[in-house]
Amino acid sequence: MKDTERIVVSVDIGTTKICAVVGSTDALGRTNVLGVGWAASEGLNRGVVVNIDKTVEAVRKAVGEAERAAGVETRSVVVGIAGDHIQSFQSRGVITVTGGEISREDVTRLLEDTKHVAMPADREILHVLPQDFIVDGQDGVADPIGMSGVRLEANVHIITGLVSAAKNVYRCIEKAGYAVDDIVLEPLASSLAVLHDDEKEVGVVLVDIGGGTTDIAVFEDKTIRHTAVVAVAGNKVTDDLRKGLGILHDQAERLKRQFGVAHTDLVTEDKEIQIPGIGGRPDKSIGQSTLAQIIQPRLEEILEIVAIEIKRSGYGRHLSAGVVLTGGGALIPGTAELAAEILGIEARIGRPLGLDGGLAEEVDDPKYATGVGLVLHGLRTGAGAGTSLLTHDAAEPDAAPPEPAFGDGYDADPDRLVSKITSRMRSWFDEL
């Protein structure tokens, strides 16, 4: 491995699968996927850990596969968090500037000030995302550093989650034998993987349809404007098939993946599908259109919830780039067409972008959007500085200690949950 190559390992802890991705960036800035690991997830419900031991076992299996494929030994990971406990709101902070010229320290102090909001004891701030800055009443300032001013204000988007949910994610990773470099909201990670910068500028909504949750993020002017996580997603579609057809969950999942169609109008040839009988009963057959009639109403419900969140964000008229659908739930043929019909805007399926080599083709799939996005986040913000992700032999004994990671993940001690928000805010500010 070259000295200039940095490596990040991500773990996407989902309701139906746990996915680990090993990615690196070289001296030329190219991003390569070195390894991918996958394990069935049985310890989560609607994005929240409900069984520590099963989740730990799945994390070990997924990261182990990714390690073997990449030929590296992992000691720390960037991990995603989701679940319907995630909430977000807008906040505003104001400080006075001493000395007349705005410095980076002033910006950091201002962003710290925006955190001083009334919060229930069971909730913790996960992200503080700057929207824009106001200098002496002049709004629309993207980068106030170096400007002259006396009064500095900022509008920020604050994302919070349950302390217990974050704690349990931490415990699972640490019991599996890894340290946590950073903890990141999954729709933020997915946006890094599947959205173009110009889409974020003109306005776009990202909809990540997973197994247990559907994650929504609205962007405009290159900044995130609204986030939401709802507990209706792909597993509900599978449950509808299971109950409607009287079959087992695994059979329903297989039918959904092989023959599912999101829109009945797209079923041109009504194929006959054999369904195995239960308890010794004879097999039966149904048409593909029957399958679509069960799937479409549930996907319509998900998209109607998305429409409500778009309206709540106040940016419904600003989404010139339409909607980008990603996640495993977006793999059902016809999902983009149904989304365009329900939401009344353009729709496309989002696959990971900006990958240059390695296993890039293997992860060219919506279900890997979050895992790849977590890697891109880690590479962008310097999580772990790459050094903690190599084998002991590969590290230089006299190497200088890595720069501190830019992240607002929690401290390694899950009971303390000391947030590293300040440095994350700097990194987000640098990206504006």
Would you say residue 156 has pLDDT above 70? yes
Assess whether 200 and 346 both reside in one domain. yes
pLDDT tens per residue across span 29-83:
889 999 999 999 989 988 899 999 999 999 999 999 999 999 999 899 999 999 8
Quote the pLDDT of residue 424.
53
Q: Is 142 a domain residue?
A: yes
Quick check: 160 and 126 in contact, CB under 8 A?
Answer: yes
Window from 12-21, 104-113, 357-366, 405-414 with minimum mean pLDDT: 405-414
* pLDDT at position 28: 80
Do 254 and 344 reside in the same domain of the chain? Answer: yes
Q: Could you tell me if 201 and 336 lie in one domain?
A: yes
> What pLDDT, on the 0 to 100 scale, is given for residue 417?
40
Phi, psi for 344 (deg, rounded to 5): 75, 25
On whether both 103 and 211 belong to a single domain, the answer is no
Write down the pLDDT at residue 431: 52
Helices (H), 22-98: 52-70
Other Cβ atoms less than 10 A from the Cβ of 195: the count is 22
Specify if 207 maps to a domain: yes
Structure tokens of 297?
């109403």
Quick check: is 135 in a domain? yes
Give pLDDT tens digits for 318-327. Answer: 999 999 999 9
Q: Tell me the mean pLDDT in the region 271-277.
A: 85
Are 218 and 157 within one domain?
Answer: no
**55 within domain boundaries:** no
pLDDT tens for 189-220 read 999 999 999 999 999 999 999 999 999 999 99
For the stretch 234-268, pLDDT in tens is: 999 999 999 999 899 999 999 999 999 999 998 88
CA pair distance 422, 108, nearest whole angstrom: 7
Q: Indicate if 200 and 325 belong to the same structural domain.
A: yes
If asked whether residues 229 and 273 sit together in one domain, one would say: yes
Q: 320 and 255 in one domain?
A: yes
- Give the domain extent around 141: 87-161
Q: Between 357 and 423, where is the model more confident?
A: 357
Residue type, 341: E
pLDDT band at 151 (very low <50, low <70, confident <90, very high): very high
Residue 409 has pLDDT above 50, yes or no: no
Instruction: Examine the domain organization and report whether 117 and 229 are in the same domain.
Output: no
Task: Give the model's confidence band at 116: pLDDT under 50 very low, under 70 low, under 90 confident, else very high.
Answer: confident
**Sign (positive/negative) of CA torsion 232, 238, 244, 249?**
negative
Q: What is the pLDDT of residues 304-314, one digit of tens each?
A: 999 999 999 99
pLDDT tens string 171-181: 999 999 999 99
Query: Is 389 part of any domain?
Result: no
**221 vs 408, which has greater pLDDT?**
221
Angle at 45 between CA 42 and CA 50, to 5 degrees: 75
What CATH number should be reported for the domain holding residue 98? 3.30.1490.110
Kindly report the average pLDDT of the chain as a whole number.
85
Q: Is the pLDDT of residue 185 over 50?
A: yes
Indicate whether 418 pLDDT > 50.
no
Q: Is the pLDDT of residue 1 over 80?
A: no
In a domain? residue 253? yes
What DSSP designation does 211 have?
Answer: S
In a 10 Å sphere around its CB, with 0-12 CB exposed, 13-18 middle and 19+ buried, how is residue 353 labelled?
A: middle
Residues 347 and 202 placed together within one structural domain of the fold: yes
| Structural domain count of the chain | 2
Q: What is the dihedral of CA 163, 168, 171, 175, to 10 degrees?
A: 180
Tell me, yes or no, whether 220 and 302 share the same domain. Answer: yes
pLDDT attached to residue 358: 82
Does 406 score more than 60 pLDDT? no
Residue 58 is predicted with a pLDDT of 95
Tell whether 68 is covered by a domain.
Answer: no
CA dist., res. 339 & res. 344, Å (int): 8
Same domain assignment for residues 277 and 322: yes
CATH of the domain at 305: 3.30.420.40
pLDDT at 429 exceeding the cut of 80: no
**β-bridge partners, 160:** 87, 125
The per-residue pLDDT for 427 is 55
- Give the residue-averaged pLDDT of 147-153: 93
Please tell me the predicted confidence (pLDDT) of residue 100.
83
Reported as a single tens digit per residue, the pLDDT across 292-308 is 999 999 999 999 999 99
**Tokens 């097999």 label which residue?**
283
- Residue 97 carries which DSSP code? P
Q: Is 290 a member of any domain?
A: yes
Choose the final residue of a domain: 110, 136, 161: 161
